[in-house]
Amino acid sequence: MPAKLSAIDTAKFVAAKRACEFVEDGMRVGLGTGSTAAWLVRCLGELVEDGLKITGVPTSIRTAELARDVGISVTTLDEAKWLDLTIDGADEYDPELNLIKGGGGALLQEKIVATASDRMIVIADRTKQVETLGAFPLPVEVIPFGWQTTKALLEETIAALDVMGDKVTLRMDGNAPYITDEGNHILDLHLGRIGNARQMALVLNQIPGVVENGLFIDICDIVVTGNGNGRVQVKDINNGSSSEDVIEFDEDENLFADLGD
């Protein structure tokens, strides 16, 4: 049996478990990428094993592989066309449920899938909640051609915006640049604080060479936040509701202890 879960793993697990309650039989569900989203995929896999019928649209190659491994039927967004729900993690979220995403390198597919859904639910632990976005480096996906020119344009642009820092770094994978599923690079913007996230999102996408940025503005509908003691908060931005409950589970039967960061 796996060892006792850490507080952070417990928080991710209970958030994922609670988010599964929004999934209904027959739904087409966008499946996010990252360590927290992986817990969701495993939880959904258990429900599928018990008879739940859903179709998953993964946001990355690795999520697709995990979904198939746990028995979830997988299709493409082109085949599904529109989704009932997308559930994904986040690197940061603010009180208005605006997000920074892309720490796992899948921001482009994640944003496309999320915006092709009736609702987006974010699952997170308490550390992802912030008053102002920007402490987590903001990922920007860029095409490889002329990326250094794109980097210089980004540096020039953010220097004129309401931020605390203006450092831009190329994301690496060992000694080579990180390559996204679409064959692009990621430039991480170390901003410290983003004074106007909406303006930032619009301005960044006007720069030649930029494919997409990791700011998710007015996309997320619900955030499910897990805590290390098993408590879960659910905040719905559309109806202004907020609720809290406790997720009970038998840790000795937990199969997810290998899904930490």
The verdict on whether residue 115 carries a ligand-binding annotation is no
Which pair of structure tokens corresponds to residue 230?
A: 């098993």
pLDDT tens per residue across span 108-150: 999 999 999 999 999 999 999 999 999 999 999 999 999 999 9
State the angle between helix axes of 61-69 and 35-49 in degrees (0 to 180), rounded to the nearest 10. 30
Which pair of structure tokens corresponds to residue 21?
A: 């309650």
Q: What is the mean pLDDT of the chain?
A: 94
| Confidence at residue 10, expressed as pLDDT on a 0 to 100 scale | 95
| Confidence at residue 252, expressed as pLDDT on a 0 to 100 scale | 55
In this structure, what is the dihedral angle of CA atoms 84, 247, 220, 119, given to the nearest 10 degrees? 10
Please identify which of the residues 21, 65, 110, 156 carries the catalytic annotation: 110
Query: What band does 260 get if pLDDT is binned at 50, 70 and 90?
Result: very low
Cα 103 to Cα 92: distance, rounded to the nearest angstrom? 10
Is the pLDDT at 261 greater than 90, yes or no? no
Hey, what CATH class is 7-129+218-237 in? Answer: alpha beta
The verdict on whether residue 51 carries a ligand-binding annotation is no
Query: What band does 258 get if pLDDT is binned at 50, 70 and 90?
Result: low
Cα 145 to Cα 149: distance, rounded to the nearest angstrom? 9
On whether the CB atoms of residues 261 and 9 are closer than 8 A, the answer is: no
pLDDT tens per residue across span 155-212: 999 999 999 999 999 999 999 999 999 999 999 999 999 999 999 999 999 999 999 9
The verdict on whether residue 221 carries a ligand-binding annotation is no
Cα 210 to Cα 185: distance, rounded to the nearest angstrom? 10
**Mean pLDDT confidence for 64-77:** 98
| Confidence at residue 141, expressed as pLDDT on a 0 to 100 scale | 98
Listed in order, strand segments (DSSP E) in 176-216 are 176-177, 185-190, 210-213, 215-216
- The yes/no answer on whether domain 138-208 falls in CATH 3.10.560.10 is no
The verdict on whether residue 104 carries a ligand-binding annotation is yes
On whether the CB atoms of residues 248 and 178 are closer than 8 A, the answer is: no
Residues of the chain with CATH 3.40.50.1360: 7-129+218-237
Which pair of structure tokens corresponds to residue 254?
A: 């937990």
Is the pLDDT at 56 greater than 50, yes or no? yes
Which pair of structure tokens corresponds to residue 215?
A: 């700011």
Query: What band does 249 get if pLDDT is binned at 50, 70 and 90?
Result: confident
Concerning whether 110 is annotated as a catalytic residue, the answer is yes
The verdict on whether residue 36 carries a ligand-binding annotation is yes
Is the pLDDT at 256 greater than 60, yes or no? no
| CA dihedral for 148, 150, 156, 160, sign (positive or negative) | negative
Element (H, E) at 156: helix 147-158
Residues of the chain with CATH 3.30.70.260: 138-208
Cα 231 to Cα 137: distance, rounded to the nearest angstrom? 28
| Confidence at residue 38, expressed as pLDDT on a 0 to 100 scale | 97
Comparison of pLDDT for 104 and 255, the residue scoring more: 104
| Confidence at residue 251, expressed as pLDDT on a 0 to 100 scale | 61
Query: What band does 4 get if pLDDT is binned at 50, 70 and 90?
Result: confident
- What Rg value do the Cα atoms of the chain yield, rounded? 18
Which pair of structure tokens corresponds to residue 162?
A: 């309401």
Cα 160 to Cα 126: distance, rounded to the nearest angstrom? 32
